[in-house]
A and B are shown apart, each in its own frame.
Chain A
Amino acid sequence: MKTVIGSALNVLRKTTGMLRAAQRPQNGSAMISLVNVTKAFDSQVVLNKLNLEITTGKITSIIGPSGEGKSVLLKHMIGLLKPDKGEVVVDGEVISSMRGSVLNEAREKFGMLFQNAALFDSMTVFQNVAFPLEEKTRLSPAQIRDRVHEALAHVGLKGIDKKYPDMLSGGMKKRVGLARALLLNPKIILFDEPTTGLDPIICRAIHQLIKDTHKRFGYTAVIVSHEIPQIFDISDDVAMLYKGEIIEKGTAKDIRQSTHPVVRQFITGSLDGPIRMVT
């Protein structure tokens, strides 16, 4: 009985979400839209009536000073956090009002690479990458093994099946995380600071990997990054988050040439300007 009621509620929630999404002016090219999103933790407002559209099939990078809420923004896109006000629309569905199994269904469109890769530390590399396949598909062990090796090969890793995450370098962990995120061919992949803490060569290698896999699989990518100016080389669009709002968004070229004082200061790394360091 509970299951029947639960299913009926889920269908109702999903239908309501789709109807509400359909009522808004549709932009065919937006995979993710954040509309007037506000989020506060206690008294600290992190996102303030933020509006942002992520174009389908493109790599969009979100840049901004540390502690400005870039990761919070990313977590809203996948429904890990819910806005206090406003809506998050993903592929025509209002993800911010979803719960339970409907939200899980919407999340199947996503893959995510976390800042520290978030590999399951009690599992080997093979088990980590195989985990989504074992849980979400009915593939045979042999098919899973092939898919895992294929995914690891895509990110340039071989022969590390039996290693545990704490035996890997930072760059290798990120690549295993990317292999796991790519495995179910998601429509969207979110990258939370994919190159933080890596040396410049590994950093470039990860950026190249994102570019190559994006070209091969055609997913919509959202990257939160501090890597200026390298991030411009792989991004189609760049948005700058400052004081809870997107203060400028455009192509990588537009942002490079921006005259906005905050954007200029951030991309030149100057100490003088409107961004004040708290000391």
Chain B
Amino acid sequence: MLLFVDKLGELTLWLLREMGSMLSFLVYALYKIVTSPGKPILILKQLHFIGAKSFFVIFLTASFTGMVLGLQGYYTLAKFGSEGMLGAAVALSLIRELGPVLTALMVTGRAGSAITAEIGIMKITEQIDALRTMALEPFKYLVSPKIIGAVIAVPLLCAIFDVVGIYGGYVVGVKLLGVNPGAYFHEMEKSVEWKDVYSGIIKSISFGMIISWVSCYKGYYAGHGAEGVSRATTAAVVMSSVMILIWDYFLTSVLL
């Protein structure tokens, strides 16, 4: 029993320390973004890496997500004779929920893991120490541009996801299953409100922040050797994904 309490205490302390450390990392990173955001070229590079290079995977995921929504939505709505509402169902699902969340999860897998691995390798090969010995602030080169890049890139990717997904649903619903194209877009236009759009934007901005924050943190404090980097990368992907889903619930309950 005593051993169990011991372990529980140890775990609680570790959790509190980790949370404190992560939070102070975020506060320091935000402070550095305000005081020395880094060269625009570094931010552009991150926009290219996180944004442009994720385009294909986002396009592919969005197409099939929209198509599945079109297929599932059609047969469900057909039971109630409301196939005309398909456009609204696909658009609302994508704009409010699936767009931001799936974009964030895809970016986590593609770019978040790479960010952790890059910073982790720089740490274990003393490249971060080399920056410090040159009297340069590592956050300015490694963390700030990535956070700014992710916060800009993820909402843009989410917008692409939404549009591509809606056309995916259109292809299946209208072209394959025969829903009236006018009804598809008209119902969508009637149902989607500005609130749905900005809640999606707010979600994707915060998801961009979570991905870059967790990925940079895990890389910066990666353990020793290749195994340390590999563990940090796995932890970054798992933690980012879980945090995205938890944060999504809180945001949805606030923004609804």
Contact = CB atoms under 8 A, between A and B. Distances in A.
B134 A136 contact: yes
Nearest to B132: A80
Interface residues of A, number: 25
B35 interface: yes
Nearest to B118: A122
Nearest to A105: B135
Interface in A110-135: 110-112, 114-116, 118-122, 131-132, 135
B134 A118 contact: no
A187 interface: no
Contact of B133 (A107, A121, A122, A135): A107
Given A120-B127, A121-B125, A80 B133 contact: yes
A107 B134 CA distance: 7
A240 to B, nearest CB: 25
Contact residues of A: prevailing secondary structure:
mixed
Given A114-B126, A116-B125, A118-B127, A78 B35 contact: no
Contacts of B127: 118-121
B50 to A, nearest CB: 16
Interface residues on B, range: 10 to 19
Contact of A118 (B35, B125, B136): B125
Nearest to B136: A135
Given A3-B35, A121-B125, A112 B135 contact: no
Interface string B127-146: 10110111111000000000
A136 B125 contact: no
B72 to A, nearest CB: 44
B132 A118 contact: no
B128 to A, nearest CB: 9
Nearest to A103: B135
Contacts of B121: 121
Interface in B62-111: none
B130 A107 contact: no
Contacts of B133: 78, 80, 107, 110-112, 190
A151 to B, nearest CB: 14
A118 B126 contact: yes
Contact of B132 (A107, A116, A132, A135): A107
Contacts of B125: 116, 118, 121
Interface string A1-18: 011000000000000000
Contact of A80 (B118, B122, B129, B137): B129
B126 A104 contact: no
Interface of A: 2-3, 75, 78, 80, 104-105, 107-108, 110-112, 114-116, 118-122, 131-132, 135-136, 190
10 contacts: A75-B129, A78-B132, A80-B129, A110-B135, A112-B133, A116-B126, A120-B127, A131-B134, A135-B136, A136-B135
